[in-house]
Amino acid sequence: MSGHPAVGVWSAPGRVNLIGEHTDYNEGFVFPCAIDRRTVVALADRADRAIRVGTACRDEHVELSLDALAPNSVSGWAAYPLGVVWALGELGADLSRVRGVDLFITSDVPIGAGLSSSAALECAVALALTEHWQLGFDRPALAQAGRLAENVVVGAPTGIMDQSASLLGDTDAAVFLDCRNLHADIVPLNLRAAGLSLLVIDTRVEHTHTTNGYAARREACDAGALALGVTSLRDIRVSDLPRAQKMLDDKTFRRVRHVVTENERVLATVRTLREQGPGAIGPLLDASHLSMRNDFEISVPELDLAVETAQAHGAIGARMTGGGFGGAAVALLINDLVPIVTRATETAFAQRGFHTPVIFTVVPSRGAQRER
């Protein structure tokens, strides 16, 4: 892009959310894992104060002065990396003392599949800049920078789960995150020892968090919390649901019920993993999908078919993963069933006239890091 040699290369992973969907912005609990699909950022120094970003996905680059960074100064794909630069300044970085850089981005995290390609990009850029510019931010702060960029610059009303998973993930483990106080525990999954695989079924129905469906769900949650007299749905328990049903219209109540019961399922999943191991969490994954399909109404026929086919062919559990309205499902199954479920799903999609899904296993992996 600039002809200058890279002075460093950083990467950050996408994520699969094992359970805990749409609970993050309700100050609830989530349980994602980083995966072995990564976004890589190469950084080269400049002599001026410009930031230039390019990507292998597009034959273009975007350049902007550090002094011109603002939420409305950039749009499109470049809003993610340049939004992170702006967000670092908002969180206290003194950007007046740094020189510009060129950033070149490559990735094998599928876009629009619910595996958080956006957070992988944000976190790779955030880690690269905080280390190169010696800003001193820790990883929870970098997660906040990624969320701020996505909320304000990109315009997607997401929570902090995706960035936290990308930055804090570890090998064969998942991140148990309390989205109220941002306390994170790394919980071993022990999939390898149990002979289990995580199979991702990308339906190829693309979604985006900036569309009305995601925002409408968040608005319904906020409305439910307000009507129930709490600051967030985190403060509502399952035992409160009969009272909530009397106070809320049916649609808002079902949105609330999903979040409240999903929080309980996250806690039960972590407890079950610790006490019984990964082979016992299947019913919780299945129940999560039903809640997202029926109460939160964020599934689509392709996701339902992926989940049902995996379950019918021996998966321990399966659910859609990500924000919904498309994207991917994830199935937990014994290793020997991977080719069987793959073939069955491809056949089922063909019979329904759906796009051929992209199906692959993912391995819970390390978080963002410097590569060289």
Residues that are catalytic: 162
How many C-beta atoms surround the C-beta of residue 219 within 10 A?
Answer: 14
Strand partners, 198: 332, 362
Locate the DSSP E strands across the chain.
Answer: 8-19, 29-45, 50-55, 58-65, 101-107, 173-178, 184-188, 196-202, 317-321, 328-334, 358-362, 369-370
What gap in Å lies between CA 39 and CA 23, rounded to an integer? 25
Under 8 Å between Cβ of 128 and 81 = no
Q: What angle do CA 316, 317, 318 make, to 5 degrees?
A: 140
Half-sphere exposure of 117 (CA within 13 A, CB side): 18
| Helix, strand, coil percent values for the chain (each to nearest 5) | 45, 25, 30
Instruction: Report strand pairing: 328-334 vs 173-178.
Output: unpaired
SS3 10: strand
Pairing type for strands 317-321 and 101-107 reads unpaired
